[in-house]
């Protein structure tokens, strides 16, 4: 089969997982996008089934076992919660994109073309965000009314592609110093800032800052430190959105001093408060299907009454869904990427893995396909460039790698 078809399949999987950025002017049910995502992923797996995999190492087997644990968690929801097996499997499919790693490894897609795909979906998000801000009503996704964050907060999917693209361009600009990369950095940073999501903004800013310092030359580091310090002290606090986000964070902190921190309460509940047997500890309670099973109805009522949400407590929610084994493997995969040897131009992959590792503490990108897919593509790219670099001769390595995290 022509390799171009693999790129087309991957493109469809990504676009469908994003629901085409959820346009409000076209009424297409979510079930249609889900069907396209799942069926196209299945086709990708079937088409690559006979191809010999060259990347059978720790990450490969970890992802395979993690995916099996997900299926076992669906079985647990069936036998312990009475949720029908078909409904449990469909609910589990919303976070089953980890299995995408296996056909990716077999297809051996080109890294440069994958970087183009990252750019396409990052630019797609930025354009949708621009249209939303220019329109009186949201054209993509939805909007939270109110100005407590300094502006309208649009619930627009695809922000992780922008974070991925931001690190990619920072890496390239630090090495090559091309102005076009700088403009992409500015546009991507504005897109992340306008998302008004504090965790995404903070993690992207901090890791992007350290990535630039890590990769750039010493003289530029000093200039950059002076400029960034001046900007942070005198200009940043004057920006309305930034000031509003800071004030909201202060208000939230003051509110938490009066009451228990809701995220700590939720984390404690999903780790220790929810009763489960040994099999559920190891393989999870299973994902409840809201409105489609008694388990889903009961869970939704409990969630609303106790105000505990899996989406607020990343790893703890993942543990509730899929169990201890899958959670440990997920964290181990993050850490493994940080220790892979890659050439200078691909250090951004480590930083995106680090961002995903941090964002999963108090958010849930690990629980939905639309954010799992960029993470899986990062995994494939990381192991591919690592293996390619490992197979180079010593002279080639000296040219391609100056820094190493080891």
Give pLDDT tens digits for 19-39.
Answer: 999 999 998 999 999 999 999
* 237 vs 315, residue with greater confidence: 315
What confidence score (pLDDT) does residue 102 get? Answer: 93
Give pLDDT tens digits for 173-217.
Answer: 988 888 899 999 999 999 998 888 888 999 999 999 889 888 777
Residue 369 has pLDDT above 80, yes or no: yes
* Contact call for residues 70 and 283 (beta carbons, < 8 A): no
* Contact call for residues 118 and 168 (beta carbons, < 8 A): yes
* Contact call for residues 83 and 122 (beta carbons, < 8 A): no
Residue 156's nearest CA partner among 376, 375, 370 is 370
* Contact call for residues 102 and 45 (beta carbons, < 8 A): yes
Mean pLDDT of the chain: 86
At 368, the pLDDT band (50, 70, 90 cuts) reads: very high
Written in H, E and C, the secondary structure of 237-301 is: HHCHHHHHHHHHHHHHHHHHHHCCCHHHHHHHHHHHHCCCCHHHHHHCCCCCCCCCCHHHHHHHH
Give pLDDT tens digits for 93-129.
Answer: 999 999 999 999 999 899 999 999 999 999 999 999 9
At 405, the pLDDT band (50, 70, 90 cuts) reads: very low
* Integer Cα distance of 65 and 51 in angstroms: 20
* Integer Cα distance of 34 and 38 in angstroms: 6
Residue 41's nearest CA partner among 96, 106, 2 is 96
* Contact call for residues 121 and 157 (beta carbons, < 8 A): no
Q: Rounded to an integer, what is the distance from CA 84 to the centroid of its chain?
A: 29
What confidence score (pLDDT) does residue 315 get? Answer: 92
At 402, the pLDDT band (50, 70, 90 cuts) reads: very low
Q: Which residues make beta-bridge pairs with 23? A: 140
Give pLDDT tens digits for 45-81.
Answer: 999 988 887 667 899 999 999 999 999 999 999 999 9
What confidence score (pLDDT) does residue 400 get? Answer: 43
Residues in the chain: 406
Backbone angles phi, psi at 154, to 5 degrees: -90, 130
* Integer Cα distance of 142 and 106 in angstroms: 37
Question: pTM for the complete prediction?
Answer: 0.88
* Integer Cα distance of 19 and 249 in angstroms: 31
* Integer Cα distance of 386 and 340 in angstroms: 6
Q: What is the mean pLDDT of residues 298-308?
A: 87
What confidence score (pLDDT) does residue 50 get? Answer: 86
* Contact call for residues 119 and 322 (beta carbons, < 8 A): no
Q: Which residues make beta-bridge pairs with 155? A: 142
CA gyration radius, the chain? 22
List, in order, residues 6 or more apart from 186 with CB less than 8 Å away: none
Residue 132's nearest CA partner among 124, 141, 120, 144 is 141
What is the full DSSP assignment across 132-194? HHHSSS-SBSEEE-S-TTSS-EEE-S-HHHHHHHHHHHHHHHHHH--HHHHHHHHHHHHHHHH
At 279, the pLDDT band (50, 70, 90 cuts) reads: very high
Give pLDDT tens digits for 247-271.
Answer: 666 555 555 544 456 788 888 899 9
What confidence score (pLDDT) does residue 187 get? Answer: 94
Which helix (H) or strand (E) segment holds residue 406: the answer is: none
- Residues 14, 68, 17: CA angle, nearest 5 degrees: 15
What confidence score (pLDDT) does residue 71 get? Answer: 96
Residue 372 has pLDDT above 90, yes or no: yes
* Collapsed DSSP state (helix, strand, coil) of residue 73: helix
Give pLDDT tens digits for 319-340.
Answer: 999 999 999 999 999 899 999 9
Q: What is the mean pLDDT of residues 1-17?
A: 90
What confidence score (pLDDT) does residue 266 get? Answer: 87
Record the tokens describing residue 286, joined without a space.
Answer: 């299973």
At 404, the pLDDT band (50, 70, 90 cuts) reads: very low
* Collapsed DSSP state (helix, strand, coil) of residue 23: strand
* Integer Cα distance of 386 and 93 in angstroms: 30
């Amino acid at each position: 089969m022509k390799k171009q078809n693999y790129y087309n399949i991957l493109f469809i999987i990504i676009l469908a997982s994003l629901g085409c950025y959820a346009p409000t002017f076209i009424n297409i049910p979510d079930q249609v996008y889900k069907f396209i995502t799942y069926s196209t992923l299945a086709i990708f797996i079937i088409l690559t089934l006979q191809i010999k995999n060259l990347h059978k190492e720790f990450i490969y087997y970890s992802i395979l076992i993690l995916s099996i644990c997900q299926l076992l968690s669906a079985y647990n929801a069936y036998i312990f919660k009475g949720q029908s097996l078909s409904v449990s499997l469909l609910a589990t499919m919303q976070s089953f994109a980890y299995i995408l790693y296996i056909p990716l490894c077999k297809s051996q897609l080109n890294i440069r073309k994958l970087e183009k795909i990252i750019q396409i979906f990052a630019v797609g998000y930025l354009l949708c965000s621009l249209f939303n801000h220019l329109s009186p009503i949201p054209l993509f996704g939805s909007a939270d009314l109110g100005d407590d964050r300094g502006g309208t907060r649009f619930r627009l999917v695809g922000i992780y592609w922008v974070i991925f693209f931001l690190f990619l361009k920072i890496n390239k600009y630090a090495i090559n110093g091309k102005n076009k990369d700088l403009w992409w950095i500015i546009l991507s940073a504005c897109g992340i800032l306008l998302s008004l999501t504090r965790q995404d903004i903070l993690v992207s800013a901090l890791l992007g800052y350290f990535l630039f310092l890590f990769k750039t030359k010493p003289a530029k580091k000093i200039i950059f430190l002076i400029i960034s310090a001046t900007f942070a002290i005198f200009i940043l606090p004057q920006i309305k959105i930034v000031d509003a986000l800071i004030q909201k964070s202060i208000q939230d902190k003051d509110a938490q001093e009066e009451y228990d921190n809701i995220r700590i309460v939720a984390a404690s509940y999903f780790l220790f408060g929810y009763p489960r047997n040994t099999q559920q500890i190891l393989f999870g309670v299973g994902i409840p299907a809201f409105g489609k099973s008694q388990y889903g109805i009961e869970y939704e009522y409990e969630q609303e009454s106790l105000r505990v949400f899996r989406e607020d407590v990343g790893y703890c929610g993942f543990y509730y869904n899929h169990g201890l084994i899958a959670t440990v493997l997920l964290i181990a995969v993050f850490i493994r990427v940080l220790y892979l040897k890659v050439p200078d131009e691909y250090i951004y992959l480590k930083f995106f893995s680090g961002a995903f590792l941090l964002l999963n503490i108090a958010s849930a990108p690990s629980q939905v396909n639309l954010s799992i897919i960029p993470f899986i593509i990062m995994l494939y790219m990381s192991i591919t460039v690592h293996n390619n670099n490992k197979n180079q001769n010593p002279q080639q390595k000296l040219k391609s790698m100056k820094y190493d995290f080891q």
